[in-house]
Each structure stands twice: as C-alpha cells, then as structure tokens.
Structure 1
Amino acid sequence: MPAMFHSCSEFTHWDRDLRAVCGNFSTALSDRHRLFIGSVHGQDVGGLELAYIRTNAGLISRRRTQGDGDDDRHCFLILQSSGYERIRHQDRVLELGPGDLALVDSARAFEIEPQGLVQNISVHLSRQEVRQHFGENPLFGKLARNSVATHTIRALIRSLGDVELSDGYGGERDGPALEQALIGLAAAGLDARTESQPGFACVGHDDLYGLATRLIETSLHETALGPDYLARHLNVSVRQLYRLFEQRQESISRYIQQRRLERIAQDLRAHDLRHESITQIAFKWGFIDAAHFSRAFKRYFQHAPRDFRHQVA
C-alpha cells in the first residue's frame, strides 16, 4: 500500500527514494496541504526501468545537465494515472490529466507541479536511443490524447504493472524490444498532435479562463504581467477578462500576486536554492519592490519571508 507521511522527516524519506529511482531531482512540500502523501517504487522488466510515483508534493524540479552523465541518460515517458499536474520546460507548459502522456528529457531543466494528489508511471527510455529516433526534434511534448499510438502506449504501460511481472521478469531481449516499441509509438503520438488552436475570441468562458491562467503561469516572471498584458496576448478586451475572473469571485491582480507568492514560497523551500537571496527570488518572479513584496508575503503566509525560510530550514 502507498505510504502516507505525516512529517518533514517522512517527506525527506520520499525525496530520497525519488532520487534513488528517478535521479537527481529537487523537491518541495506544497503549501496547500497539511498532510504529505507520497510513495515511490521502481520496477525492472527485462532491463526496462519504470517508476511508480504517488505524491501531493508542491514541486519536483530538475536542473539542466550536460546530457552525457549517468544521471541524465534517460528520457521519461510519463503516463498520468490519476490527478492533474503541470510540467514546465523553458516557455512551454504541459497540463496532464488522467490518461495523458508526455515525453520529458532528463538532460534539460524542467519542473513538475502536482495539482493535489497525483499518481503517474514513468518509463525510463534511453536518451541516446530516443535522440537517434527523433533526430534534432525536441525531446519534450504531450502526446496526442486520442491517437492509436497513445492508446497503445497506455495499454502497454499498464500491462507492465501487472502483479505477475515482478522485478527482473523477462529475458534479455524483452527490455530493448519494449523500449524500441515505446520510442516508436511516442514519436507517432507526438506527430499526431494538432498544433492549431481556435482563435481566442471564439473560445468559451471556461476555455478562455483556462487559457488566461495558463498564460499567467508562464508569464509570472514578466513585470508587465497584468490585465492589459493578458488582454493583448489573448486578443480579448480587459473588461471581458475582469468579468471572467469576477464570475469566480477572483481578482486578476490578486490571482497573479498569489501565484507569484506561491512560486516564491516553493523556491524558499528548495534546498538547492539556498544560495539565492530572498530578494533575488522575489524579483525573479516579477516583483520589483522588495518592501511591497515583503508586506504581501507576510499578509499571505502570516510569516515574513526570512522567518518562513528559516522555519523550513
């Protein structure tokens, strides 16, 4: 049964297990949950490695590497079993829900932000083999949800989780054969995507709200981010945006500030960002006035930024 962890020490154990199974990641607790839930275990099927991850952590992140080390020899083919999460890579954001699949390059910086409790299965594919198959195309993207290739991958990955397939199951040829099949299917799933989107002015309110919040997520570092910025990039009126957020009892400016503060809190929790000053982190996420940031942070989290970081440490 997956373990339910109640303390920071248990979170540390989960973090350690994640690193052992998946490589060198940085993790942070979520500010939205008082109880941490997490489990990680690996599986080997004829040499093909899989990781089963369940968590409500706030952030799982990876820095860019040279792409030639033992820790970054994989691409991760991620099947979202349940829950919702965002994966950020440079200026791209993937949103995964139950049944979605994504390919992520371990040698590139990316962040995974679970939206509550999530479960996923990560298949570790040889980065070298994926690169040979994909050529110069990016090793990152969400697969077409309803393609034949994606349906086949789902069924194949889920079948590998059968209880009969214990660790070490299969012959020497099984792992490489499965890997080549998954790489080919992943390439087909990515090729089947449709890149065209309807004009922003033609989408429904729920779709427009989703587009607006996704644009906010990818633009938090922009100091100009605000109602005018969103309206210009979404090709809608500022009045329409105000009305859209008011219908959800939200303010655009307050929503943006809260998301910035939550991102800053995650960075203040991250062990590998201890060398960055609080002001550097605040400015990275779009604040331009240190005093204003400090007041807003204390009002939202009931602790000054320095005290918050000290308590986490």
Structure 2
Amino acid sequence: MELLHTRSLVPSKWSAVSCDQWADDLHSICGSFNPRLIERGRPVRGAARGIDVCGMQFAHVSNDLDCVHRNWDDIRRDTVEHLFLIVQLEGSCGVDHVGQQATLDVGDCILVDSTKPTTFHFGGNFSNHLSMHLPRQTMYSGKRDKFDIARKLEGFDTMAIMLRALIAKIMSTPDSDGNSASLQELMFNATRQAFVSDTDVLLNPMYESAARRMQMVDMLIDQHLTDANLSAKWLATRIGVSIRTLQQDFHGVGITCTTIIRDRRLRLAKEKIEQIKDVKGGRTIAEVAYSAGFNDISYFNRSFKELFDCAPTDCLRQGGGKPE
C-alpha cells in the first residue's frame, strides 16, 4: 500500500473549519502552536486530527494558512517531548527549524524536534502532511548516534520510500496484532538510520557563543542521558569550559543543568511506563526508574509527581501493569 495514495489521508474534497477550531484541534494533538491566516476571519480549508494505531500516535494536518509557529513560550508550556517525523502528502510546506530552512514537496520527509522553535510556512496555499510522534527520549536513549534534525529526505530517496512504506504498514496494523511492538521498534530504528548524522560538530569554547555551547550541551545530554556520570561538571569538561562558565550559560536561559537532566530522565521514564503499562508481567516502576538514570526511588517518585501531577504507579495502573 502506498501511503501517498491512501484515500483517508488524501481525500478528493476538503471541508472548512474556523481558525479557532483548527488551532484547538492541533493543540490537543501536537501541543502549543500558533496559526496565522493571510486573511483574518476566513475559515481554514483542511483539518487537524489525531490518529492512534498500532500503539503509535499520528497527527494528520492539512490547511491553507499563512504559517504556523512554535516559540520558546509554547515549548515551556508543553510537558511532552517528541520528535515529529513529517511526510508531505499534498502541496508543499516550508520548514524553518534549528537555523535551517527546507521546502517539503509530496513524498518528502523531515525530522523536527518539539523542544526547538519551528515555523511552518504555507503562504495561503493548501498543504497536507502526516506527522508521526516519536518519543523523543526513547529515540535518543542508549544511542550514541546524532540525528540530522531538519534535514530533508527527498521523496525519491530510498530511506524516504522505506519510511513511507513502514508508516503505511503501521497504519494498516491493528493494536491487537502480536507484531505491533516489533513494528514500533522497527520504525524507531529505521528513523534513526534514515536521519543519522555522519558529521561531527567541532566546538572551540574560547570563541563560541553561549548559545552554541548550549547546543552542544543539549546534544550531549540527549546522547548520555542515562549515564551515571552525567552532570554539569562532566558536561563542562566535555566541551572544554569551566563549571562556572557552564552555570552562567544555563542561567542565561533561566534553568539549571540539574533540572534539565532530571526532567528529561523523567520524560524518558514516563515514555517507558507508557510502553509497558499494557504488558502483563512487565518491568516494575523501580526498574524503569533505574533504567532512566535514577538511583533514588523516593526522589524519582516525588519528582515524577511534581512534573506530571500524578504518581508513576497511577500511570502504570491505567494499563494493569506491575506497580512495585
């Protein structure tokens, strides 16, 4: 089955909805984004709808807006982090992300990080794309690979063809299928392979800006999130600056290094709980906490509840898994 010819994704006719309704629908699926119309008050042709299938979450997004923007305030409001694997189904879309610009045509794929500002440009022209929500911390966890975020795969690229074929397979596989978990892992690995970076970023801390150093720190945290020795001191040593300089860099963005590491480990733990909660005899909360980089279960439980407003056992019991 060719994803680009799936009639449920590429219907012959699109209806119109109010811009407010479209924005609310997008927010409920993807988090905080800000749409902008070319002509104020007119309806939006298209829709924003969620698709949950085979244990995976998708956003099917179509519109004829001017643009949709996500800024730092939007990012701070969202507690869930994803990598969005986007496939263009109809029309075209401009993407401005992490300082790179790309234009997506039909069949093209791109990987976007929800923790970074993004602008999607449409210019009033109709665009239709499918976005697969990949759990960000799971994608980075235990891997030393670097991803080329914002790198476009042309529609004819072998990797783009493979990703579209896997998505089509996932969308036709029911949740009850015994191979659904294996298919999810195959999708994760295929995406890693498709966007793996083959270049090393060289950093000279004496001449680089705080923003550039923070970019490197952000990448190192993702790559070494579950390592026992991950700390501000370890990061400062890796990028060749003093601990004081690194602390000043973090102060400039209004957060501490310890908080970033803790919150990303908590999000990784939550992703792991979501993956095991329907598995009978699966891993315990303590095992999940240890695998995410925590060694104090009381601290983990307290921090988890502060960030997500629920206990980890509450998340697990929703699916009937083992709480202890």
TM-score by length of 1: 0.51
Choose from 112, 116, 119 the match for 1:108.
Answer: 116
Q: State the 1:159 CA deviation.
A: 3.9
Distance change (3 Å), C-alpha of 1:66 and 1:135: farther
Residue from 22, 27, 50 that aligns with 2:30? 22
Gaps of 5+ in 1: 195-313
- Whether 1:63 and 2:63 are equivalent positions in the alignment is no
Q: Does 1:157 align with 2:162?
A: no
Contact 2:14 2:46 in 1 (8 A): yes
**Aligned with residue 40 of structure 1, among 45, 48, 68:** 48
Question: Which amino acid counterpart does residue 101 of structure 1 have in structure 2?
Answer: C
CA distance 1:88–1:101, change in 2 (3 Å): same
Structure 2 counterparts to residues 82-101 of structure 1, below 5 A: 82-101=90-109
The answer to whether the aligner puts 1:120 opposite 2:135 as a matched pair is: no
Is residue 177 of structure 2 the alignment partner of residue 188 of structure 1?
no
Task: Kindly state the Cα deviation for residue 35 of structure 1 after the two structures are TM-superposed.
Answer: 5.4
Measure, in 2, the Cα distance between the counterparts of 1:139 and 1:3: 31
In structure 2, the partner of 1:246 is: none
Mapped contact 1:72–1:107 kept (Cα < 8 A): no
TM superposition shift of 1:57: 1.2
Distance (Å, rounded) in 2 between the aligned partners of 1:32 and 1:84: 22
Between the aligned partners of 2:31 and 2:177, the Cα distance in structure 1 is 24
Q: Distance in 1 between matches of 2:63 and 2:31?
A: 17
Q: Give the partner amino acid of 1:105.
A: D
> By how many angstroms is 1:58 displaced?
1.2
Q: Is the 8 A contact 2:33 2:74 kept in 1?
A: no
Q: Matches of residues 2-21 of structure 1 in structure 2 within 5 Å? A: 4-5=15-16, 10-21=18-29
SS of the equivalent of 2:47 reads strand
Higher deviation after alignment, 117-126 or 89-98: 89-98
- Report the alpha carbon displacement of residue 127 of structure 1 after superposing the two structures with TM: 0.2
1:156-197 alpha-carbon deviations (Å, 9 max, x no partner): 2234445xx6xxx31487554333322322233235999xxx
1:215-226 mapped onto 2 (5 Å cutoff)? none
Matched residues in 2 for 1:174 and 1:114: separation? Answer: 38
Alignment of 1:120-139 (within 5 A): 120-132=129-141, 133=143, 135-139=145-149
Query: What SS class does the counterpart of residue 72 from structure 2 fall into?
Result: coil
Distance 1:26 1:123 in 2: 20
Moved more, 63-72 or 180-189: 63-72
| Distance change >3 Å, CA 190–CA 42, structure 1 → 2 | same
Cα distance in structure 2, aligned partners of 1:69 and 1:48: 23
* Sequence identity percentage: 24
Instruction: Report Cα offsets for 1:242-261 as digits up to 9, x if no partner.
Output: xxxxxxxxxxxxxxxxxxxx
| Paired residue type of 1:130 | M
What is the rounded CA distance, in whole Å, between the counterparts of 1:49 and 1:127 in structure 2? 13
> How does the TM-score come out when normalised to structure 2?
0.50
Q: Per the alignment, in what secondary structure is the counterpart of residue 12 of structure 1?
A: helix
Q: Distance in 2 between matches of 1:170 and 1:191?
A: 29
Instruction: Please name the residue that 1:53 is paired with.
Output: 61
**Matched residues in 1 for 2:67 and 2:144: separation?**
29
- Find the aligned partners of 2:144 and 2:76 in 1 and give their Cα distance: 17
Q: How does 1:244-255 map to 2 (within 5 A)?
A: none
Tell me, in whole angstroms, the C-alpha distance in 2 between the residues paired with 1:193 and 1:135.
9
Contact 2:58 2:133 in 1 (8 A): yes
For structure 2, list consecutive stretches of 5 or more residues without a partner in the other structure.
1-10, 200-324
For 1:36, the aligned partner's letter is: V
> Is the CA contact 1:130–1:183 (under 8 Å) kept in the aligned structure 2?
yes
